[in-house]
Amino acid sequence: MQEIEIHEVPFDSPVAQRLITAALADLGARYGGSGDDTPVDPSEFVPPAGVFLVARLDGQPVGCGGWRSHGDEGDTAELKRMYTAPQARGRGVARTVLAAIERSAREHGRKRIILECGDRQPEAIALYAAAGYERIPNFGFYADAPGCLSFGRTL
């Protein structure tokens, strides 16, 4: 099995933007529209306020995800832009990225991580459940949208 390499990159870097564009296209195919209209500022993913990670297999970027600070307390991270390219799915990329995101958030003093997901993403829902995430009250941009599911866990 090939080793998955995780690299911290700027959210607005070309490699991150290619993966984010693919993630939004995937969400658009599932839900319509742009995929996700949540306001996101690249500066939200600059340490210590957040981090963005890219996963590589054989040197090729195949997955991404990051966290940004959430709320005023400074102890919660919000997971954003998790994605694995179709050709790399089923190879542990998402689990590896998720673990690296959680580790980074913990290292930056976050005690909890939360996320929004849609009900048309069964693979993501299964990943989060297997990683110990539990349903929480909906929050954020899509809090009142039909099909919005929010999850969280203690780090």
- Measured from the Cβ of residue 65, the count of other Cβ atoms closer than 10 Å reads 27
Helix or strand (DSSP H, E) at 148: strand 148-154
The residue ranges of every structural domain in the chain are 4-154
Q: Report phi then psi at 13, rounded to 5.
A: -70, 155
Rg of the chain, C-alpha, whole Å: 14
Residue 56 is predicted with a pLDDT of 98
* Of 73, 97, 102, 99, nearest in space to 84 by CA: 97
Measure the CA–CA gap between 64 and 16, rounded to whole angstroms: 7
pLDDT (tens place) for every residue of the chain, 155 residues total: 579 999 999 999 999 999 999 999 999 999 999 889 999 999 999 999 999 999 999 999 999 999 999 999 999 999 999 999 999 999 999 999 999 999 999 999 999 999 999 999 999 999 999 999 999 999 999 999 999 999 999 99
Joined tokens for residue 94:
């998402």
Q: Which CATH superfamily is domain 4-154 in?
A: Gcn5-related N-acetyltransferase (GNAT) (3.40.630.30)
Q: What is the pLDDT of residue 139?
A: 96
Closest CA to 149 of 102, 115, 123, 126: 115
Give the model's pLDDT for residue 1: 55
pLDDT at 30: 95
